[in-house]
Structure 1
Amino acid sequence: MGGRRWHATGGPVMISAASLTRFRELLQRRLGWTFADHDLGPTAEVLAARARAHGLTDREYLDRLTGRRWTAEVAELASALSITETYFFRHEEQFRVLRERVLPEMIEARAGQRVLRLLSVGCSSGEEAYSLAIAAIRARPGPDWIVTVTGVDANREMLRRARDAVYSSWSLRDTPEDVRRRWFRPVEDGFRVADEVTGTVRFVEHNVAGDDPQLWHPARYDVIFCRNLLMYLTAEVAAELIHRMTRALTDGGFLFLGHTDSLGSRPDGLDVCHANGTVYYQRRAVAPVRGETPAPPPRRIPAAAPPAPAARAVTDHGDQRRVLGLMRDDRFAEALDTAGDADSLTRGVLLAQLGRVDEARDTANRLLHAGGPQADAHHLLGVCHELDCAELAVGQYRLAAYLDPQFAMPRLRMGLLARRRGDDRGAADHLTAALELLTSENEERIVLFGGGFGRLALTTLCRTELDACGVRR
């Protein structure tokens, strides 16, 4: 099979049409990307360069890429093939709608929780994610509101630049002067984003062709930006990404796409909105599920029950410090691989984070069967049961708090559940206790059970929920 061949600069490598076709098909499967015919030359260059970097022929390189999970190399390909040009507050008309319409509506809806969660899909070098953070911080009614922004991209090098948070004046070319003075600090290489902003933003390496149950947890985000990415994806990957983003929006949450992207006039689960010449989408409210069967009350534990072991003593497999570091970065799949296969609290928590709730519940029950009552394992069961029966979850949290009176996390969860069902007095009792206990809570427990929040954010959450209960401190 001869056909056309492409000559790659930088070396005497000739890429056959068959190898290039195979490479494009692999990229579609691994990254979900599609390519136009005019991209063939640059794509051949990348194939030749990556094969040469590993000392392989193009055929050997493709065989290796086909036959194994080569995560690091897929990240290199994403870096080599990504289009990364962006700047702060790009498409200002969309940010105007965000400031004037969307954020005020979400702030009114979130007055009880005082938390705003935003997501930037295909965040590149971070300008969009930081722009969202600045807009949300400026819009929030007070400093007790928590703003979190997640930026995701498959390009590892772009994410490194995003975490550095230093940009040239060209990246700020559409940034108003007052915003530049307030939220950026001059440094030798340009401008650094202010700490108040960078502290609200985290960046996650993610390939949109794959799933991540934690990242795409249902009803997790109030606002999602995904601009000028869909046009580069295959139809199947784009459709699945739209489904995940829609599901991940809270009821009434908003989705912004690029001007070249359209979901038609009646997208599934979304309403089309128009303002200031901008089209955007709002998630339709979903009716709550009714008719849950009340769970039986939890069994009583005798007062002589042994104390709960510390969370750090549960896992004997893998490097626990590395696992916790991966969890802090929301890299739960990698953390699960590192944690090993044996039953452990850490493994159970990671299974729950990845949406494998039945496995997490089984792990917790096996831990209890093998070691007797353990506050951490009962708390994990409570986390699992929150998805299907709040009453059973409360029972498990009560057991956890009974077994370890210094354990802040079950008191916090019981307070939030009480708030959800309108029991402000009960919520205040639990939240007050959690607020006091958080100052000395075990750091590993915060990583394991904090839901992505650190000690300071959890403390702020307790205080804002107490304010909403009308409690004076």
Structure 2
Amino acid sequence: MTQAGDVTRFRVQLAAQLGWAFDDNDVAQLADVLRRRVEAAELRTGAYLRRLAAGGWETELTALAEELSINETYFFRHGEQFRALAEVVLPERIHDRAAQRVLSMLSVGCSSGEEAYSMAVVAHEALPGPDWIVSVLGLDASAAVLRQAERARYSGWSLRETPDAIRQRWFHPHDGDYELDDRIRMDVRFRRYNVASEDAGLWRAGQYDVIFCRNLLMYLTPALQESLVRRMTRSLAGGGYLFLGHTDSLGSRPEGLEPRHSHQTFYYRRSSVPEISAPVPRPQPPAMVPRVPVRAATTPPRHDQRPDPAANVHDRAMRLLRDERFAEALAVVEGGLSAHPAPAEMLLHGVLLAQAGRLEDAEMVCRRLLDADGLHADAHHQLAVCLEGGAAVDVAIGHYRLAAHLDPDFAMPRLRLGLLARRRGENQAAGVELERALTLLRREREDRLTLFGGGFGRLALTNLCRAELDACGVRR
């Protein structure tokens, strides 16, 4: 029989490791959950609680999240918020993003995906043209509900608040259920995430246009509520919007946010001022080539340190790539590929596979890299190279634009977009992209030039840009 002290220790661990708060009315439920999890782990209660407190028990945290989550949801739940999104928020964000033509949105606590997909549908309905990119990321702690989300197949009951026109346009009958249109599915990704953990890439400053976090804060400890709100605020673009649940209020003067009211609902707009107190520095885009530490001249080499074999393989392959010895570089990488390759290792593998003409294999590597980090600008660029080579040019353009949006200092997607526009006879658009590429090429990183330059260096790519600009007839 579970003791009261055991339940108290259990509550403490749930607060520490998941950030979830429970009051005294939840004690009976928690006692039942504790008993079931102890039996599943085949441990005594004390041993189970000690192991949980030690940390690092991710499989158990996942199981607890699935046991304790409340996942009742449906499409367009609280329709007044989606009407505000469609009629106020997105027109404003589309105006502000006209140069990039990319909308980036986040659903925190997305459950089985209805909220994230609803956001994507509303965005598609609002877009002024087909050349825009919509990117929605759904986060939840439960792997089970995320598996449902990725299936993108729902019962009629889940669509009970969905307008008929939306249902007909974006849902297709399938074995008695409804399946989302591929155009929506392609724009939405899901990731398991525990809101009690930090993640610098996920909460990078200024990256989201809209965040939905509804009916989650009330389940969290006060400290985690405050931390999560600060992370969300920081990661909104200036003028971006935050939607919370009706039971969640940040008061009349939340730091960094301006309360808004329309369509009989409250929501928040990110202040244009770029700083809030205790800001977290925006991390630089991940370097694709591991940097070798430089020893000070006075520091003698240590003979007891063994070289990292993976770094050795990567460095050798990069040297071969610089010498345009593509087949040899690929052989080196595939001969030394680790069981759990680092992102730099995977990206290099993808580049070399594409150079060898193995576009499907290269695309698969890039997609695996993006599954792990959907905000990886270099991976989006290389995926676009593969898709362009496979004649999926329109989809490739979307990934080039996303790469340029994720890293505004990245020259190569701008160059590719300019060349593609020239090929289509869109000289005005080509001129804009090529001018931008020409400016960025001056400071493009050497490793990126090696990876994505196709054997051309900075000078050759600059000359190519200038020649194409002259051919466009739009240079001043």
Q: Is TM-score (shorter-chain normalized) higher than 0.5?
A: yes
Give the drift of 1:74.
0.5
In structure 2, what is the equivalent of residue 114 of structure 1? Answer: 101
Cα deviation digits, residues 415-473 of structure 1 (max 9, x gap)? 9xxxxxxx9957425769x9xxxxxxx9xx79xxxxxxxxxxxxxxxxxxx9xx9979x
- Secondary structure at the residue paired with 1:213? coil
Give the drift of 1:317.
3.4
Q: What TM-score, normalized by structure 2, do the two folds share? A: 0.65
Give the drift of 1:189.
4.5
**One-letter code of the match for 1:130?**
Y
Change (3 A) 1:471 1:53: farther
Change (3 A) 1:200 1:287: closer
In structure 2, what is the equivalent of residue 330 of structure 1? Answer: 372
What is the root-mean-square deviation of aligned Cα atoms in Å?
3.6
8 Å contact from structure 2 (residues 414, 434) kept in 1: no
In structure 2, what is the equivalent of residue 23 of structure 1? Answer: 10
In structure 1, what is the equivalent of residue 285 of structure 2? Answer: none
8 Å contact from structure 1 (residues 116, 147) kept in 2: yes
2 CA distance for matches of 1:155 and 1:40?
Answer: 22
1:428 aligns with one of 434, 444, 465: 434
8 Å contact from structure 2 (residues 414, 433) kept in 1: no
- Secondary structure at the residue paired with 1:179? helix
Cα deviation digits, residues 101-148 of structure 1 (max 9, x gap)? 000000011110000011100000000000000000110011110001
8 Å contact from structure 1 (residues 414, 430) kept in 2: no
In structure 1, what is the equivalent of residue 457 of structure 2? Answer: none
In structure 2, what is the equivalent of residue 219 of structure 1? Answer: 206
1 CA distance for matches of 2:127 and 2:220?
Answer: 35
2 CA distance for matches of 1:470 and 1:196?
Answer: 36
| Count of aligned positions | 342
**One-letter code of the match for 2:8?**
T
In structure 1, what is the equivalent of residue 167 of structure 2? Answer: 180
In structure 2, what is the equivalent of residue 306 of structure 1? Answer: 323
- 1:316-395 counterparts in 2 under 5 A? 316-320=337-341, 327-330=369-372
- Secondary structure at the residue paired with 1:15? coil
In structure 1, what is the equivalent of residue 151 of structure 2? Answer: 164
In structure 1, what is the equivalent of residue 278 of structure 2? Answer: none
Change (3 A) 1:61 1:90: same
8 Å contact from structure 1 (residues 412, 430) kept in 2: no
2 CA distance for matches of 1:312 and 1:196?
Answer: 37
8 Å contact from structure 2 (residues 75, 115) kept in 1: yes
2 CA distance for matches of 1:46 and 1:184?
Answer: 37
In structure 1, what is the equivalent of residue 361 of structure 2? Answer: none
1 CA distance for matches of 2:265 and 2:144?
Answer: 31
Cα deviation digits, residues 361-417 of structure 1 (max 9, x gap)? xxxxxxxxxxxxxxxxxxxxxx9xx99xx9xx78xx7xxxxxxxxxx55846999xx
Give the drift of 1:331.
5.3
In structure 1, what is the equivalent of residue 258 of structure 2? Answer: 271
In structure 2, what is the equivalent of residue 125 of structure 1? Answer: 112
2 CA distance for matches of 1:279 and 1:410?
Answer: 39
Deviates more, 1:50-59 or 1:102-111: 50-59
2:73 aligns with one of 79, 86, 94: 86
1:249 aligns with one of 201, 222, 236: 236
In structure 2, what is the equivalent of residue 462 of structure 1? Answer: none
Change (3 A) 1:39 1:470: farther
1 CA distance for matches of 2:371 and 2:169?
Answer: 28
In structure 2, what is the equivalent of residue 102 of structure 1? Answer: 89
In structure 2, what is the equivalent of residue 460 of structure 1? Answer: none
Change (3 A) 1:307 1:91: same
Give the drift of 1:172.
0.7
2:130 aligns with one of 133, 140, 143: 143
2 CA distance for matches of 1:104 and 1:218?
Answer: 22
Change (3 A) 1:221 1:34: same
